[in-house]
Amino acid sequence: MDHLEEIAVEELQDALDSVDGSKPTQRLLAAIAYKNGITQTELAEWYGVQRRTIYNWLERLDTDEPLEQAVTDAHRSGRKRKLSENQQREFEEVLHEPPERVGFDAPAWTAALVQQYLNETYDVEYSLPSCRRLLREAGLCYRKPRRKAADSTGDERDSLRDDREGSAGGWTPR
């Protein structure tokens, strides 16, 4: 199937001047190259994509809508947030306080602690990676515990090692 029979290279170049974003630009440049004799296989190699992707790029230009719209992806809203805006704000305020303030016996926030808090407080479930993302979004950063055992004597080292076993790192405000 021959693509873009009805579209002139000049039209593609004009559309190129009025699009924003790398993907629409890339698609129009591929179409211009195709109109100038470059094969779909060659274009796929140039752009590091499958030949089918190039086919789809060219196919989407064979439409009645303006070229600027044809090369632009539709807005994708993504998944709806589990917490409302107010809940998110409250949650982030809580994170900037020590966990003891909300009844947890811990010196700093951890992803597991956040997971438990969200489940108990808002009745929502988050995975541990999502909890870490929420901590980062709230402006917290992960801090590892300091190691002091290297500068200690043997007895002190054993004591520090015992103390450290119960203390993992935690998330704290920047």
Query: Per-residue pLDDT averaged across 65-83, rounded?
Result: 86
Higher pLDDT, 141 or 167: 141
Query: Per-residue pLDDT averaged across 38-49, rounded?
Result: 95
pTM of the model: 0.50
* Angle in degrees, CA 21, 27, 28, rounded to 5: 90
CA distances from 46 to 123, 157, 163, 174 (A): 49, 59, 57, 43
Domain ranges for the chain: 9-70, 85-173
CB atoms under 10 Å from CB of 49, counted, come to 15
Q: What is d(CA 3, CA 61) in angstroms, rounded to the nearest whole number?
A: 8
- Asked if residue 152 lies in contact with residue 160, where contact means CB atoms within 8 angstroms, the answer is yes
Q: What six digits make up the tokens of 55?
A: 């086919």
Q: What is d(CA 28, CA 134) in angstroms, rounded to the nearest whole number?
A: 38
Higher pLDDT, 102 or 75: 102
Residue 73 has a pLDDT of: 84
Higher pLDDT, 120 or 77: 120
Residue 170 has a pLDDT of: 81
DSSP string computed for the chain: ----TT--HHHHHHHHHH--SHHHHHHHHHHHHHHTT--HHHHHHHHTS-HHHHHHHHHHHSSSS-HHHHTSPPP---SPPSS-HHHHHHHHHHHTS-GGGGT---SSB-HHHHHHHHHHHH-----HHHHHHHHHHTTEEEEPPPP-GGGS-HHHHHHHHHHHHT---EEEE-
Confidence of residue 163 (pLDDT cuts 50, 70, 90): very low
Residue 6 has a pLDDT of: 86
Whether residue 166 has pLDDT greater than 60? no
Whether residue 99 has pLDDT greater than 80? yes
